[in-house]
Amino acid sequence: MDRQRQVAIVGAGITGLTCARALVEAGWQVRLYDKGRGIGGRLATRRTETGLRFDHGAQYLCPRDPAFAALLQGLATGGHVADWPEGPEGGRVGLPGMAQVGRALGQGLDVVQGAMVTGLRRAGAGWQLRVDDRTEAADLVVLAIPAPQARDLLGQDHRFAPDLAAVRYQANVTVMLGLDPVAPRPFATRRSEGALAWIAQDGTKPGRQGQPLTTWVVQADPDWSMAHIDLPFAELADLVAPQLLALLGADPAQLQHKAAHRWLYAQADRPLGRPFLVDDMTGLIVGGDWALGPSAEDGWASGRAMAAHLLAC
C-alpha cells in the first residue's frame, strides 16, 4: 500500500498506539484522535489536588506473549514500567502510574487530544472524519475504540454492526479511597467478595511513595457495577467505602478521600474471536481489546495485527 496515504486512527489507547507505532516505523503518515485529555484510554491514572494518585483503570499488566513481555521490558529499561512485588505474580505497572504506559507509547506520535470523532463518511476514494466541529480527511481509517462505540460511529446498517453488537462488555464501578493513617496490608482481596471484586492498596505500587494518605482502589463486581452504574459518583463512593472500612477494620474517621469512576465498557467477556474487522475496499479496519479478550495485552495484539494487515496490503 502507498505509504504516503494519510491514516487516521480513532482512539489512542494501547490498541491505537500500538497500531500507530508500527505504521510510523514503516514510514506511514499517521494521526491519532482521542477524545480524552490524556492518552492511554483505560490505562488511566487519576491525580488529586492533594497529591494522591490512583490507577482507576487497568491495575497491572501480566504478559503472556514474549513480544509483549519484550515491549514491557523495553518500557522498564526506559523507566516507564516496573515490577509490582506486592501485586499478582509477574505483574508490571506504569511508573508512576498506569497512564505512563500510554504516554511512553505515544512519544513522537501525532496525537490530537480532546478530539471527539463524531462522524465518519466516505468521500471519493477516502474518508471524511467529523472531529468536534471540523472536518478532517484521511485515506485509511483505523477505529481503535470499544466495540459499542465503533458501532455507534459506523451506524447500525454498516456491515460490521452485527459482529460489533455480538461483543459483550462487563461494566465496572471503581472507587478510590484515601485513608489516614497508613494501613499495613497491600491487599484486602483479589477475588470476588460480596459486591467487591478487587481491593488493593494502590500506594504499594512502585513510584507511589510519599502520598499524604494510604490509597486504595476498589472495583465492584460486574453485576453490582451494572446494577448501580447510573448512580451519581458521590453515591457510588458512599456505598462502597463502608465495605472497605469493614474489611480493614478501619474507623470511619480514617477515611479522608473518596471518589468514584464508572466504566460502562471495562473489559470484554465475550470477545469477537479474531483480531480485527476489515474492509480493504474502503480502507477501514476496526479493532481493540474486545476483538481478542479482556486485557490490555489483547488490545496490543489487535493493534499489532491491524498494522501488520495494513502493511501487507
Ligand X SMILES: Cc1cc2nc3c(=O)[nH]c(=O)nc-3n(C[C@H](O)[C@H](O)[C@H](O)COP(=O)(O)OP(=O)(O)OC[C@H]3O[C@@H](n4cnc5c(N)ncnc54)[C@H](O)[C@@H]3O)c2cc1C
Least distance CB 295 / ligand X (angstroms): 3
Query: Alpha-carbon dihedral of residues 162, 120, 294, 90, nearest 10 degrees?
Result: 160
Considering only residues 8-37, where is the footprint of ligand X by CB under 6 A? 10-16, 33-36
Interaction of residue 270 with ligand X, rule CB under 6 A: no
- Binding-site size for ligand X (CB under 6 A) equals 38
Task: List % helix, strand, coil for the chain (3-state, nearest 5).
Answer: 30, 30, 35
119, containing H or E segment: strand 117-123
Q: Which is nearer to ligand X, 15 or 100 (CB)?
A: 15
Least distance CB 195 / ligand X (angstroms): 15
Least distance CB 249 / ligand X (angstroms): 26
Q: Which is nearer to ligand X, 5 or 46 (CB)?
A: 46
CA 260 to chain centre: 17
The binder of ligand X chosen from 45, 100, 172, 225 (CB under 6 A): 172
Least distance CB 21 / ligand X (angstroms): 13
Q: What is the residue-wise DSSP string for 224-259?
A: HHHHHTTS-HHHHHHHHHHHHHHHHT--GGGEEEEE
Q: Which is nearer to ligand X, 219 or 243 (CB)?
A: 219
Q: Which is nearer to ligand X, 14 or 167 (CB)?
A: 14
Interaction of residue 160 with ligand X, rule CB under 6 A: no
Considering only residues 88-147, where is the footprint of ligand X by CB under 6 A? 116-117, 144-146
58: which residues sit within 8 A by CB, 6+ positions away? 42, 43, 44, 98, 295, 296
Interatomic CA distance for residues 187 and 91, integer angstroms: 14
- Contact segment (CB under 6 A) with ligand X among 20-28, 53-61, 72-80, 231-239 equals 53-61
CA 50 to chain centre: 25
Question: In this structure, what C-alpha cell is assigned to residue 176?
Answer: 478510590
Q: How many CB atoms lie within 10 A of CB 243?
A: 18
Least distance CB 240 / ligand X (angstroms): 13
Q: Which is nearer to ligand X, 283 or 299 (CB)?
A: 299
- Residue 89 vs residues 17, 63, 184: alpha-carbon distances, Å: 26, 11, 20
Residues found near ligand X in the complex (CB under 6 A): 10-16, 33-36, 41-43, 57-61, 116-117, 144-146, 149, 153, 172, 174, 219, 263, 266-267, 288-289, 295-297, 299
